[in-house]
Structure 1
Amino acid sequence: MSLIPHDIKDDEIRVISSGNNNDHPAPNKPTRKRKWIVAVSIIAMLLSVLAIVYMIIPKNSNDDSLDIITTEITEYQEDIEENIPNTIIESEPMAHGFVSISDTLVNKIPLTMFKPTNLTPTLQIGTDVLNDSTVRFVVQAADVRGDNGGIVGAYVNKGELLSKGQAKSGFCAIIGGKINIGVADATPFLEQALETDGYFFRQYPLVVANQIVENRPKGKSLRKALAELNGETVVIMSQEEMTFHDFSQSLVDLGVTNAVYLVGGKGYGFAIDSEGRKNEFGRQLKNMRPNTNYIVWR
């Protein structure tokens, strides 16, 4: 830092007089010239400090800005890579299983279709299944009696016969993780379910070999069906109240080969789609009957 020039040398003394020798300034009282020198010195020191700070800070600021830009570019590239088809990231939901959900119109009738992918079906009794994090798709299966709360028709859970009877001719059997649906008063699938720790329940038949099956109930309600479509098992749900006949007709028009009924109305269920979103339908009641049962995909 350069010295500030003065009009006297360091080894010289200047005596300032106002013209009266008796009016000397007090020994400790600074003169106006000395005050000015001190002020200039302080200002010079501050300017020097600011210059040093200026030389240091810009370098650090540039580095921080570069780091931020680099991070944003990296994250943007990662997002692009996640959306590229046939990558490991995109195939992960397939490994864990999910439900494809699509809406369609059949003769101006709105339907929603659920197709399980890479999931294994079972049956389960009780509402605890609704809080199971491993479940990807759940729909109420067999009807429950209004008088004694028993399950309507034959019902097998892990090879155990929990209910007997043949109130309805439609059936669903799950043997070795594969769903079989059809219509029969007596079927070997019941025995197979008992012998192989399988699953079985009875319901109204809706479609057999691409043909409508008529059922006694004539009222309208929201309808659900477990169906065979193009060689795959799907669940189809009406978006408006329909009779059994009209619902069965819409299934036939859609191309369904075989179908049995699932608990309709406002029966609660949900499906986890490929994005991990939980799609709920129906209404979850506070006091569900103990034998409320579900067909479940995990």
Structure 2
Amino acid sequence: MSLTPQDIKDDEIRVISSGNNYNGDTPHNRPTTRRKWIVTVSIMAMLACILTVVYLVFAKNSKEDSLEIITNETVVYQENSEDIVPDTIISEPLSVGFISVSDTIINRIPLTIFNPTILTPTLQIGTDVLNDSTARFVLQAADVRGDNGGIVGAYVNKGELISKGQAKSGFCAIIGGKINIGVADATPLLEQALETDGYFFRQYPLVVANQVVENKPKGKSLRKALAELNGETIVIMSRKEMTFHDFSQSLVDLGVANAIYLVGGNGYGFAINSEGRKIEFGRQLKNMRPNTNYIVWR
């Protein structure tokens, strides 16, 4: 092979390279790959910092919101709080007794349940109790005769025998602030009420030992019952007119163990609930009989 004039001699060195190789003295010819990586990493680092800041701010705001909700709930239930829940009236501290009121439906029968809390029951004759600010729950108790206005059946008021007789076998005795209800033609609780400044009255029996008690009246009316349910003494009221039998059956279906009747129909009364609201039922007549009597919780 012949040599051209450009060929090198044996004692010379020729560096052979492609035209794309760069000269270290010319930085503008360096490849852009490294620059791209540096830019990409920088952008990713900036995004990570931004996301971290956003997360911390969001977490802080969420924590503050949660604390605010807990604080509001605490303030609402403090006894002497000045904050008032919308549509709520807190008239007195929760240590004062009140009536828990709830509605239920048993076999399509609407009932209202009144549960006295931190309250003591007594009996009282006369309508003065309707204006008594200390009364938290007031209902008519024993029936009053239509002819002479006397109380029907035995009635003891703070140890004093007001009325005699046994027109109805159901009874309520209040001894030492505790209510006892049952059915008996004669009961030692009557004598005990007389001896201990207690209270006693007679009414129709409705339920005995989880069994319906039949009564002679067959008409329909709004009904009220003084009842034992789950170990507590409560009042149950029907929200529609019912016969004695159907009302008693609804009490049994609810789980009532024992119950006696309270004056039903339009017999007036009221309850003060936990929010301090007065819930009235029945109709307050202008001319009430002098012996109209009430079971009262204070």
Q: TM-score, normalised by structure 2?
A: 0.72
Tell me the distance in 2 between the aligned counterparts of 1:172 and 1:281: 22
Q: Could you tell me which residue of structure 2 aligns to residue 145 of structure 1?
A: 145
Match of 1:180 in 2: 180
Structure 1 CA distance, aligned partners of 2:253 and 2:128? 37
Per the alignment, residue 289 of structure 1 pairs with: 289
In the alignment, the residues of structure 2 paired with residue 291 and residue 114 of structure 1 have an alpha-carbon distance, to the nearest angstrom, of 25
2:179 is paired with a residue of what secondary structure? strand
Residue 251 of structure 2 corresponds to 251
Counterpart in the other structure of 1:123 = 123
Taking structure 1 as reference, are residues 77 and 242 closer, same or farther at Cα in structure 2, changes over 3 Å only?
closer
Tell me how far 1:81 sits from its aligned partner: 3.8
The alignment partner of 2:257 has SS state of strand
**Cα distance, 1:95 vs. partner?**
1.5
Equivalent position of 2:76 in the other structure: 83
RMSD (Å) for aligned C-alpha atoms:
1.8
Shift of 1:135: 0.3
CA distance in 2, matches of 1:132, 1:139: 13
Tell me the CA shift for residue 78 of structure 1: 8.3
Give how far 1:186 is off.
Answer: 0.2
Percentage of matched positions with identical amino acids = 82
SS at match of 1:245: helix
Measure, in 1, the Cα distance between the counterparts of 2:93 and 2:276: 8
Q: Secondary structure at 1:253's aligned position in 2?
A: helix
Provide the rounded CA distance (Å) in 1 between the counterparts of 2:166 and 2:258.
Answer: 19
Q: Which residue number in structure 2 is paired with residue 9 of structure 1? A: none
Residue 23 of structure 1 is matched in structure 2 by none
Whether contact under 8 Å (1:224, 1:264) holds in the other structure is yes
CA distance in 2, matches of 1:93, 1:208: 37
Distance in 1 between the 2:297 and 2:246 partners?
Answer: 28
Q: Corresponding residue for 1:220?
A: 220
Residue 106 of structure 1, CA deviation = 0.2
- Between the two proteins, the alignment pairs up a number of residues equal to 221
Question: What is the rounded CA distance, in whole Å, between the counterparts of 2:94 and 2:183 in structure 1?
Answer: 32
Q: Is the Cα contact below 8 Å between 2:172 and 2:182 reproduced in 1? A: yes
Change in CA separation of 1:77 and 1:181 when aligned onto 2, cut-off 3 Å: closer
CA distance in structure 1 between the aligned counterparts of 2:230 and 2:80, rounded to whole angstroms: 29
Letter in 2 for 1:204: Y
Counterparts of 2:199 and 2:164, CA distance in 1: 13
Matches of 2:294 and 2:195 in 1, distance apart?
21
Cα deviation for residue 228 of structure 1 reads: 0.2
The one-letter amino acid paired with 1:222 is: L
Give the structure 2 partner of residue 269 of structure 1. 269
* Structure number having the greater helix percentage: 1
Matching residue of 2:27: none
The Cα shift of 1:94 comes to 3.6
CA deviations 1:60-98 (Å, max 9, x no partner) are xxxxxxxxxxxxxxxx998654225xx444897441100
Offset at residue 157 of structure 1 (A): 0.1
Query: Do 1:93 and 1:274's aligned partners in 2 also have CA atoms closer than 8 Å?
Result: no
The amino acid across from 2:220 in the alignment is K
Asked if structure 2 preserves the Cα contact closer than 8 Å seen for 1:218 and 1:243, the reply is: yes
- Structure 2 distance, partners of 1:93, 1:201, is 33
Q: Which amino acid aligns with 2:206?
A: L
For the Cα contact (< 8 Å) 2:157–2:199, is it kept in 1? yes
Q: How big is the shift at 1:273?
A: 0.3
Hey, what does 1:109 align to over in structure 2? 109
C-alpha distance in structure 1 between counterparts of 2:74 and 2:253, whole Å:
41
Q: Give the residue type in structure 2 aligned to 1:83.
A: V
Aligned equivalents of 1:294, 1:81: Cα separation in 2: 38
1:9-50 per-residue CA deviation (whole Å, 9 max, x = no partner) reads xxxxxxxxxxxxxxxxxxxxxxxxxxxxxxxxxxxxxxxxxx
Which region of structure 1 is more displaced relative to structure 2, 92-101 or 245-254? Answer: 92-101
Q: Which runs of 5+ in 2 are unaligned?
A: 1-68, 82-89
Preserved CA contact (<8 Å) 1:155 1:162: yes
3-state SS in 2 of match to 1:96: coil
Deviations 1:173-221 (A, max 9, x none): 0000000000000000000000000000000000000000000000000
Distance 1:94 1:157 in 2: 30
- AA of the residue aligned to 1:130: L
TM-score (norm 1): 0.72
SS at match of 1:190: helix
* Structure 1: gaps of 5 or more residues: 1-75
Q: How does 1:185-196 map to 2 (within 5 A)?
A: 185-196=185-196
The answer as to whether partners of 2:79 and 2:93 remain within 8 angstroms in 1 is no
